[in-house]
Amino acid sequence: MARPSERILNILSSLNTEEREQRISKAKVLGEESTGYVQKRLVRGTASSNGFAREAFSLALVSVLKNDPESVESVKSLIDAELIGKGGRREEREATLGRLFCIAAFLRSKTLDSSSELVEWAIRELFKAAETERGLSDVALFLAAQMRLALPDNAVVKKQCSVWARQRDTADGAAMKILLEQADPVEVGPSLMTWFDNGFIMPKAPYCWILSVQQSARRGSLDKFWLEVVEKRLLRSHAAEKRKLGLRLVPTALAVAKTATHVEVILTKRTVQQLANAKVTADELVRAVAETAPKALPSIASTFGRLGGFGAALVAAVERMDLEQEDVLIRRTREWEQVKAVSTLSAIWKARKSFHEDVAKELSARDATSSAVQLAAEFGPSTLIELYNLLSDMTELKYVDSDKARGENAKNLIAGAGRLCGEELDDDNSIMQSIADLLQLESATMRSVAVLAFNEIMGHITFEDLQPLFELLDEPISDEEEDDEEEEELDEDEELEDESAGEDGDEAEGDMQVEKTTSSEGAESDSNEEEEVGSMSDVDMDDEDPEVLARYDQMLGSVVKEATLSEKQQRKRDLEARTHIRSKALDLLAKYITARRKSKKGLENVLLLIPLLLDVAMMQDRTSREKAEGLLSKRVLRSPAEFSSCNSDRVLAVLKMCMDKALLPEARKAVHQCERAVSFLLTVALRSGVERRLLAAEFERGWTTFASARKDLGLGKEFGELVSSSNSSIVLDCFDVVVDTAVSGKTPFVQGIALQTLAATLKSAERNEESTLDSAKCTAAEEAIAKISLSDGSNFKIARVRDVLALCNVLTELEYIGKNARIIGDSLRAMSSWQVVQNNAGLRNLVEQLERRLGEGTADGDEEEDARKRKSKVSGPGTKKSRRKS
């Protein structure tokens, strides 16, 4: 016997893999190798107890028999020779299992009827296995029943099955009687239950029960068998195994159901609930519905719809129903509750796979037109147009009907959305204007239509086409909002003044002057009010002249004018409506951002949205503000490298716009978003090729404004650190401005921020290989510390001790504190005795560490050694700094 190739040997040795697809593919390959060696290995493999071995080798044997029907006799001879079970009880059982799997391979390959001798041998082997191996009787019964169904005219099989049915008074014998129509399933049912209770070994889907259901349907007694056996003895049993068995029979019963009565008996409310809890797969029910008699379909659809669940089976039932049955089902839904009726109507529409006018009317009558819109959208714009034409005359669209122009726009909008797949928008941008108009309507249906239409045209619109949406975001605020905003700004100013007063005595004195001015202005205002009241007191209350009384009413109304309750409620509704409209517009912009990030032009459009989103983030409306902040942080300000291919001029223009907005007073409401946006755009601009001097100028513009007046500043204290940590080169280009601010800033707060920025910049430049750090920058920072140290103690204390120490720490790490070391050391020793340092353990430890570092670095007074260290740590002007190897 010639050995096959190494490839075939490898496949044989690894055939019993866990992956089912791999087993099938390998079995097909072996099917093409019908050699004696391959056949022998496959027959032996069916007796192997290794995982998946019997299934895999039997599957490969099926492939061999299909490709080479002439090999049937040789395979049978190998079975008799190899699967004899020598050695012990276990080996005999495995050999018997192998014979059963080989007979199953003959059945599946449809080669069993090649000779009468083979059929007689196979049926004899099955009954022999059932008699000798009690645990394998169910498997043998199943294969015998399959042979009886596959060979209905074979006298040998029929005779042997009859003998089996007469000789065995067990469940498998009863199943044979049912299969041969020698017994009534209703009469055999109690016996089946007795065998079940006595521990009869039942497979996953007992074939005797399946045969009983099918045979009772053929005899016309399905409802009787189901009620007396399945319902009473299985589904209502306290044993979980029996209930599970009964539920497994439901798909079989539905497949053979012929009338509505059968369905009503099978699908009771209790049974459907048990099906849902038992998680019977939808595929089983769908396959069963596909075989159900047409007369039973309406009852199945009605039951699943009324009781809920099993949507796939419901759709499968409706697909096979005719129009008359469909109309009956639609009428039945009028008596059901809302959720069940809507789900059933939706299933009817999905089964039709096109516009369904009757279903659309029923959904509209139930105020469920949003569901109708979603269903219509699944079948394209043409279905949406048909739906709109149908709903235009119905009460759901009363808001649209009141304005015929908007109704026409909506119709054109839906039609245009279908035309624009691959086309550009029209010149007058009427479709985008229609979307904006529909978003402002009270009809939820039309708002849904607007969103669906926007999804259709989203890939074809430009940034300029979004202008109608931008107008929805730029809503004017009411007088009440303005008052709240002014009050909030006043509170913030008072807090800032209190903080400045606590830090700087000079500023506190200035604040007192401001208070005096304010009080004088208040006194003047009070005097004006007294004059106005005095003019009103000149009116004689006893005078009945109508003109005088009218004048008094007018003057009184100008002093006290309070809105009525209805006006306040209307104002509140208007504010809520504007908030909802802005929210919808922001949702559309979020979709646009997600869709347009895939192209260079689309990325530039996303950048242009940053200033707009900053405007929304500064609004009084909290909902809109939070949504805009989420878009900025999660959708836009994520990866600067993604925008590096954008046009540098466009990036610089957007940066200037955002910087202008960040410097506005109202930017305090979105301080973190402004900081992140400007820092993000500085990074993008640097990557896209914008000149560093231009970026330094923008940073200096923001920094100068920050240092001049904190009250009018939109940027927060993290801005300097945020920019220097990611773009230290930009800060280095305008380093002198930051140094001057640290020394002579207007307020101690600003001085502290400048010191923080210097420390962060030097530290970031030392880590970043792309940055250049020359000795002049370190010298400037050192001199700034020295100048602050030479000032009087109170100012030094106000200038944020921690910020000074942090900058000293960075310079000592760079080993660059040179000619001013003595001054700085004296200041540190002086600080050791300060109360603010003594009370703070962190500051005290930092001062001690810096003193030790300075003492170690300058003890010998060797200036050449200091110069050598500085040269090793900091490069000359305009050159790359050296990196430490540690």
Task: Pick 404 or 623 by higher pLDDT.
Answer: 623
Q: Is the CB of residue 16 less than 8 Å from the CB of residue 51?
A: yes
pLDDT, position 275:
81
User: pLDDT (tens digit, 9 = 90+) per residue, 294-333?
Assistant: 888 888 888 888 877 678 888 888 888 888 888 888 888 8
Contacts of 270 (CB under 8 A, 6+ apart): 235
The pLDDT of 452-465, averaged and rounded, is 73
The pLDDT of 434-438, averaged and rounded, is 75
User: pLDDT (tens digit, 9 = 90+) per residue, 343-383?
Assistant: 888 888 888 877 788 888 888 777 676 677 767 767 766 67
Answer yes or no: is 529 within a domain: no
Residue 846 has pLDDT above 50, yes or no: yes
Q: By C-alpha distance, which of 156, 154, 126 is closest to 142?
A: 126
Q: By C-alpha distance, which of 682, 668, 759, 661 is closest to 727?
A: 682
User: pLDDT (tens digit, 9 = 90+) per residue, 2-50?
Assistant: 566 666 666 666 666 666 666 667 666 666 666 777 788 888 888 887 7
635 secondary structure, DSSP code: I
Answer yes or no: is 82 within a domain: no
| Encoded tokens for 304 | 């699943």
Contacts of 723 (CB under 8 A, 6+ apart): 678, 679, 682, 699, 730, 731
320 secondary structure, DSSP code: T
The pLDDT of 811-828, averaged and rounded, is 61
pLDDT, position 850:
65
Residue 727 has pLDDT above 80, yes or no: no
Answer yes or no: is 48 within a domain: no
Q: Is the CB of residue 43 less than 8 Å from the CB of residue 75?
A: yes
With cut-offs at 50, 70 and 90, classify the pLDDT of residue 122: confident
Answer yes or no: is 338 within a domain: no
Q: By C-alpha distance, which of 319, 318, 316 is closest to 329?
A: 318
The pLDDT of 461-466, averaged and rounded, is 76
pLDDT, position 408:
55
**What's the CA gap between 270 and 280, in Å, rounded?**
14
Out of 56-65, 254-263, 532-541, 595-604, pick the least confident: 532-541
User: pLDDT (tens digit, 9 = 90+) per residue, 648-704?
Assistant: 888 888 888 888 887 777 777 777 787 778 878 877 887 777 776 777 777 777 666
Question: Concatenated DSSP letters for 221-252?
Answer: -HHHHIIIIIIIIIIT-S-HHHHHHHHHTHHH
- Across-strand partners of 774? 875
The last residue of one of the domains, among 461, 486, 512, is: 461
Q: By C-alpha distance, which of 657, 649, 761 is closest to 694?
A: 649
User: pLDDT (tens digit, 9 = 90+) per residue, 683-692?
Assistant: 788 777 777 6
Residue 337 has pLDDT above 60, yes or no: yes
Number of other residues whose CB lies within 10 A of the CB of residue 321 = 19
In 631-745, beta strands by DSSP E = none
- Could you tell me what percent of the chain has a pLDDT over 70? 54
Q: By C-alpha distance, which of 406, 410, 704, 463 is closest to 589?
A: 463
pLDDT, position 501:
43
Average pLDDT value for the chain: 69
pLDDT, position 82:
81
Cα three-residue angle 246-247-249, rounded to 5 degrees: 70
User: pLDDT (tens digit, 9 = 90+) per residue, 124-139?
Assistant: 888 888 777 777 777 7
Task: Pick 875 or 726 by higher pLDDT.
Answer: 726
pLDDT, position 89:
79
With cut-offs at 50, 70 and 90, classify the pLDDT of residue 524: very low
- Across-strand partners of 875? 774
| Encoded tokens for 69 | 């029907």
- Sign of the torsion formed by the C-alpha atoms of 216, 220, 226 and 229: negative
The last residue of one of the domains, among 461, 478, 505, is: 461
| Encoded tokens for 101 | 């799997």
Q: Is the CB of residue 778 less than 8 Å from the CB of residue 755?
A: no
Residue 789 has pLDDT above 70, yes or no: no
Question: In terms of C-beta density within 10 A (0-12 exposed, 13-18 middle, 19 or more buried), how is residue 591 classed?
Answer: middle
**What's the CA gap between 862 and 852, in Å, rounded?**
17
Answer yes or no: is 265 within a domain: no
Residue 446 has pLDDT above 50, yes or no: yes
- What is the three-class DSSP state of 886? coil
Q: Which amino acid is at 800?
A: R
Answer yes or no: is 823 within a domain: yes
Residue 156 has pLDDT above 60, yes or no: yes
Answer yes or no: is 361 within a domain: no
Cα separations in angstroms, 812 against 141, 732, 763, 781 = 90, 19, 11, 12
Answer yes or no: is 548 within a domain: no
The last residue of one of the domains, among 411, 439, 461, is: 461
The pLDDT of 416-422, averaged and rounded, is 49
Q: Is the CB of residue 388 less than 8 Å from the CB of residue 413?
A: no
Tell me phi and psi for residue 561, to 5 degrees. Answer: -140, 105
pLDDT, position 843:
60
Domains identified in the chain, total number: 2
Residue 522 has pLDDT above 50, yes or no: no
| Encoded tokens for 170 | 């067990």
Residue 477 has pLDDT above 70, yes or no: no
Residue 637 has pLDDT above 60, yes or no: yes
Contacts of 296 (CB under 8 A, 6+ apart): 254, 257, 258, 259, 260, 262, 263
Task: Pick 661 or 563 by higher pLDDT.
Answer: 661
In which domain, by residue range, is 752 found?
Answer: 691-886
pLDDT, position 750:
66
Residue 397 has pLDDT above 70, yes or no: no
Q: Is the CB of residue 271 less than 8 Å from the CB of residue 253?
A: no
Task: Pick 294 or 848 by higher pLDDT.
Answer: 294
